[in-house]
Structure 1
Amino acid sequence: MENALIETIYGNLKGLKTSQTKQLKRLYQQRLPQDCLTTPEFAQRLAAISTEIQENICAYVNRRGQVMRVGVGTPRETQIPLLELPRYGAERLCGIRCIATNLKSESPHTASLTAMAMQRLDALVVINLTGSGFERRGGGATGYVKETYYAHLIPQSDRPDRNDSEPIYWQLSPPLSLDVLTQQNFLDLVEGLEEEFRREYIALDVDADRDRVAIIGLQTQKMSDRAFADGIAELERLVDTAGGEVLQVLSQKRTQPHPQTVVGAGKVEDIALAAQTMGANLVVFDRDLSPAQTRNLERQIGVRVVDRTEVILDIFAQRAQSRAGKLQVELAQLEYMLPRLTGRGLAMSRLGGGIGTRGPGETKLETERRTIQQRLTRLQKEVNELQAHRSRLRQKRQDKDVPSVAIVGYTNAGKSTLLNAMTNAEVYAEDRLFATLDPTTRRLAVNHPETGKPFNLLLTDTVGFIHELPPALVNAFRATLEEVTEADALLHLVDLSHPAWENQIRSVMKILSEMPSTPGPILLVFNKLDRVESHALERAKEEHPQALFIAASDRIGLETLRQKLVQLVQWNG
């Protein structure tokens, strides 16, 4: 069984005779010296078979000199699937070279060179043939071979600085005779290249604990340039918050997403090439991917592919501290992953570490679909119990006739900072997306603006919103989001220093409008006044004359806000 697998011939076998197939299989028995790109004998044998079957053929050889793959077709048509190649990263080559014949007697195509770069091959050797074989001149080192080329990847520092064209990842030799080619020292070549790759990799100060990420954005006709740029910038922040390092952002404009790969075939190839040459171990798309799209992309790119929702879920998994928060995050992750098990195997082996793979609690991510469904049922029951418990707590507060205000807003608008500034709550606050997940309620004592008597209300910090909040999170966090719908009034906090604050307002209002019950009156409050330029402040005041403007971190405008909150809840009552 093992020998049959080893002697598999890949590529286009249509029309081959049994004897020709046997000749191709015998190539697996060849052994090349470790320090040679190829030998004259092996090159001539490839050339003879290729001339006889009138097809290009490729032999893939490891550094021990063993032929490990034989294919009929060009290097692009016979390349090794990227998921089957060893993943060493940008500091190593894959340890395999390709020796290919070319019937057309021309310089190597860009497609073949691109295939070499995508696989991070040690080298690509192209043997141009004389054509029919009758032009041979005495056999030996000439024989069927007209001329040869060899190509290899080059370190980034050696790449030509060509701003007007695509980056050049490789170096191609001039036409060489077979004798000259076989005298090249192969081991010196690859060891020298890997030393340069390793030196560049170390110079990047790469953190082994951080995912190396390529972000992919698709701009459709319905999306403005500004909205697209804002979405990509937000995704970069999400990746950073999740613990990833963004190496590059690639984008494409299409009328609509490709049904199989989101972006076009050429762009998928560009992504694969960029991922291999940069050493990226994760590709993140700026939109939700179907299970089929994820499978297709991973197969063609050769690294793990996740979408925006998986990044957000991963952040929630890291941020959840309380039992309730972990419970809701686990529920959201399993609800999201369950329909995506098909094609990944029931073992869910890809969930082993890194962005999009973490989860709190005791979830065994290797369990079968049935077990996961049972776990989902239990989690739903616990969330329902949590929902009922919080409902009882809210009822007790209402019985005491203490009005409540929920702070809502886009993630990182400063909600926790505001709660701390107004109530000394000491809630964890950080300049990161989704810094806090668990709702925190504190009593706020203020003086009545008319009577001067002490007046109490409850202020609740809620989970941050985001554009296109994943439905799995909305469902799982319904117990938390009820703090919003049951509040007597809402304080909608906006980060005025963010360039897309207008879109963030619309996103929050859209989420609020989709909640099962209508929230109370909403007070619009612009935060981070200390970081805003004058023209942005004037525009906000012009568009929202009834809004308040504060700087929670510097406690600017908080007294006015207190008085306004009293008026808001009294008017609502």
Structure 2
Amino acid sequence: MGICFDRQRTRFWRECLIETIYGNLQGLKSSHLKQLRRLYHQRLPGDRITTSEFAQRLAAISTEIQEPICAYLNRRGQVTRVGVGTPRQTQMAPQELPRYGAERLSGIRCIATTLKGDPPNEAALTAMALQRLDALAVLSLTGGGFERRGGGATGYVKATYLAHLIPNPDHPWTVSEAIDLDALAQQDLLDLVSNLEDEFRQSEAPTAPVVRGKADSQIDRVVLVGLMTQTTTAEQFQDGLAELKLLVESAGGQVLDEICQKRSQPHPQTVVGEGKVAEIALKAQTLGATLVVFNRDLSPSQGRNLENQIGIRIVDRTEVILDIFAQRAQSQEGKLQVELAQLEYRMPRLTGRGQSMSRLGGGIGTRGPGETKLETERRTIQRRVSRLQQEVTQLQAHRSRLRQKRQHRGVPVIAVVGYTNAGKSTLLNTLTHAEVYAADQLFATLDPTTRRTVVPNAHADDLQQVLLTDTVGFIHELPPSLVDAFRATLEEVTDADALLHVVDLSHPAWMSQIRSVMEILKEMPVTPGPMLLAFNKIDRVDSDTLAIAKEEFPQAIFISASQRLGLETLRAKMGQLVDYVAVNAGT
């Protein structure tokens, strides 16, 4: 008897778990729930959207409980999900759906009832798009949709509507006119799905740019999301979004679209509002995006919430910059510093739930299932971070010894600083005949390079030698993890005798970039030496911009490193700067 009872109880709980009814169940009787669970036992032909019998059964239950019902079926005709509510209220979470590309549908169709005689609304169609359903069939039950006979309610479908996706990002779905139930039951589902997926495949022709070392299948298709708060001006917001697009492209991604929202402050759970999250998810699905990038840093919980609701990878601005650094680091020390920055960024994003943080112990509050994989990974990363920090400290000491040797030889050092992609490496190559990699990309070079060159002597007719050090480019709101990891490299700036600040005058936000660089220099632990301002790329600017820059910065030098314009004047000014440093050092 005990064994039989246990089997019955096990079977009962298994059926309850498998035959779950989703949505709003408040007020439903046990008999209603039993009728809904029985829908899971239905099996429809795989090549038909629905049958008249199944549709009438849904209509009868929906009429009795006076609530809309949604039944989700796979291509084998099995009912996989039953919910009380609209398609929006009963939709599956992204992680429950098969992860296909943009050219594939999910293999799930939805049969929904409505107590109103209208076609499916935008919320229902959006839910269809987010789940990439094969089709959405809506059964209208009003306007004579059911009759009262003998005190009971008999389900009766007056009209139906069939909706499905189409490969059109601006209008991603189509809805049929009202048709009768028999016509809907005769629709060939497999033929419809096959034709639709062929159309999606043709519309997904590769349009991504060629990226070094990356195949088309490895290129991230990106949707940018920008949040503008009351602390940001419209100009700053647009400049930041344009810079984020360049960062994504420098990392090897293809930007498909941009979505913006204006809020007084970020939403604590999802950064943007609930409606905007749905819009992002819909846009990502219709465009076939593989990545969503936000223009601000995300907390660990915000990143998880967004991924759960949108269904694809979510990254923030810092992660994009870290990815670029990981791609561009060439030297051993550069790779070391990038790995340290990545691990320090990843540490707080290792999260667990429930008992995953419990530890095996011998007191109250310490007993549990023992150490989890999460804890093991966290401890491994902590050990790796500690070792990397020690290596960075050793790197600092090594660089300090090199600088002491240079100082002992009495050769002045000028550090070339500036915003990323201002032309620092190009200028170094032009002045010293170095062969540093230079490209029209953000953070094209990370590793500091020091080369000799000559400048005029301010007190004689001969030339004197100086050392030029190319440093990593700065950027607005440089991530703290990068500043900490690259402290060994940034010390090249603080220990230099003087600075050469290179500015890209052709950039629309050149004034803002100057301010960003100056703010970063102010935060250095040691105040850098005197600085010479050099406006680069003057061959790409108009006369008005040039006039404004000369009026604002009359002591600056105007050059074009690529066209070798103004370089002799620059050398002369550098000679005067070195002489100024020597005089002040002597006093």
TM-score between both structures, scaled by the size of structure 1: 0.91
Task: Select which of 91, 98, 114 maps to 1:79.
Answer: 91
Aligned pair 1:538/2:512, yes or no? no
> For 1:345 and 1:426, how far apart are their aligned partners in 2?
55
Residue 474, structure 1, aligned to residue 474, structure 2: no
Structure 2 unaligned runs (5+)? 1-12, 210-215, 357-372, 583-587
Aligned to 1:216: 225
Q: Which residue of the partner structure matches residue 363 of structure 2?
A: none
Contact 1:103–1:131 (Cα < 8 Å) also in 2: no
Tell whether the 8 Å contact from 2:350 to 2:374 is kept in structure 1 after alignment: no
Q: Distance in 2 between matches of 1:307 and 1:289?
A: 6
Q: Among residues 302, 317, 320, which one is paired with 1:308 in the alignment?
A: 317
1:15 equivalent among 27, 40, 52? 27
Distance 1:367 1:439, change over 3 A: farther
What amino acid is aligned across from residue 484 of structure 1 in structure 2?
Answer: V
Q: RMSD of aligned C-alpha atoms?
A: 2.2
Corresponding residue for residue 364 of structure 2: none
Choose from 499, 512, 516 the match for 1:507: 516
Q: Alignment partner for residue 563 of structure 1, among 546, 567, 572? A: 572
Amino acid across the alignment from 1:301: I
Aligned equivalent of 2:50: 38
Contact 1:62 1:68 in 2 (8 A): yes
Indicate the residue corresponding to 1:380 in structure 2.
389
Deviations 1:470-498 (A, max 9, x none): 00000000000000000000000000111
Equivalent position amino acid for 1:21 in 2: L
1:191 pairs with 2:194: yes
Structure 2 distance, partners of 1:336, 1:205, is 29
Residue of structure 2 equivalent to 1:351: none
SS at match of 1:445: strand
| Superposition map of 1:155-304 within 5 A | 155-156=167-168, 167-202=170-205, 204=207, 207-304=216-313
Alignment map for 1:428-507 (pairs within 5 Å):
428-507=437-516
CA distance in 1, matches of 2:232, 2:85: 41
- SS of 2:201's partner is helix
Q: Hey, what's the Cα distance between the residues in 2 that align with 1:30 and 1:519?
A: 76
Q: CA deviation at 1:85?
A: 1.4
Deviation at 1:431, TM superposition (A): 0.9
Aligned equivalents of 2:375, 2:506: Cα separation in 1:
44
Query: CA distance change for structure 1 residues 512 and 539 in 2, over 3 Å: closer, same or farther?
Result: same
CA change 1:193–1:137 in 2 (3 A) is farther
Say if 2:123 is the partner of 1:111: yes
Task: State the 1:525 CA deviation.
Answer: 0.2
Which one-letter code corresponds to 2:227 in the other structure?
A: L
Give the superposition deviation at 1:325. 0.4
Aligned partners of 1:284 and 1:307 also within 8 Å: yes
* Cα distance per residue 1:107-158 (max 9 Å; x no partner): 22211111101111111111122489861699xxx942222111111122xx
Quick one: distance in 2 between partners of 1:343 and 1:177?
Answer: 51
Alignment of 1:547 with 2:556, yes or no, is yes
Code of the residue aligned with 1:197 in structure 2: it is F
In the TM superposition, residue 51 of structure 1 has moved relative to its aligned partner by 1.9
| Deviation digits for residues 215-241 of structure 1 (CA, Å, limit 9, x no counterpart) | 001112222222111111110100001
Q: Is the 8 A contact 2:499 2:530 kept in 1?
A: yes
Greater shift in the superposed pair: 561-570 or 454-463: 561-570
**Structure 1 pair 205/309, CA: closer, same or farther in 2 (3 Å)?**
closer
Q: Distance in 1 between matches of 2:94 and 2:285?
A: 9
Q: Which moved more, 1:522-531 or 1:78-87?
A: 78-87
SS in 2 for 1:270: helix
- Contact 1:407 1:415 (8 Å CA) reproduced: yes
The residue aligned with 2:133 is 121
In structure 2, distance between residues paired with 1:490 and 1:563: 15
Q: Which whole-Å deviations, capped at 9, do the CAs of 1:516-542 have from their partners, x for residues lacking one?
A: 110000100000111111111111001
Cα separation, 2, equivalents of 1:346 and 1:380: 31
Deviates more, 1:295-304 or 1:282-291: 295-304
User: Does the C-alpha gap of structure 1 residues 112 and 539 become closer, same or farther in structure 2, counting only changes over 3 Å?
Assistant: same
| Partner secondary structure for residue 115 of structure 1 | helix
Q: 1:69 aligns with which of 61, 81, 97?
A: 81
- Which of the numbers 57, 72, 80 marks the counterpart of 1:60? 72
Q: Work out the CA distance in 2 between the residues paired with 1:21 and 1:547.
A: 79
Aligned residue-pair number: 545
Deviation (angstroms), 1:446: 2.9
Post-superposition Cα deviations, 1:367-394, rounded to whole Å, max 9, x if no partner, equal 6111111111111111011011101111
Aligned residue number for residue 102 of structure 1 = 114
CA contact (8 A) 1:295 1:343 kept: no
1:188: Cα distance to partner? 1.5
1: CA distance between counterparts of 2:419 and 2:246?
14
Question: Cα gap change, 1:344/1:387 in structure 2, threshold over 3 Å: closer, same or farther?
Answer: farther
Change (3 A) 1:373 1:346: farther
In structure 1, distance between residues paired with 2:315 and 2:477:
16
Specify the alignment match of 2:403 in structure 1: 394
Cα separation, 2, equivalents of 1:66 and 1:236: 44
| 1:28-49 Cα deviation digits (max 9, x unpaired) | 1111112211001111111122
**C-alpha separation in 2, matches of 1:515 and 1:80:** 50
- Say whether the 8 Å CA contact 2:208–2:254 is kept in structure 1: no
1:334 deviates by: 0.8
Equivalent residue, structure 2, for 1:355? none
Give SS of 1:126's match.
strand
> Residues 83 and 303 of structure 1 are in contact (CA less than 8 Å); yes or no, is this contact kept in structure 2?
no
Identity of aligned residues (%): 70
Radius of gyration: which is bigger? 2
TM-score relative to the length of structure 2: 0.89
Amino acid at match of 1:106: D
Match of 1:528 in 2: 537
Distance 1:230 1:524, change over 3 A: same
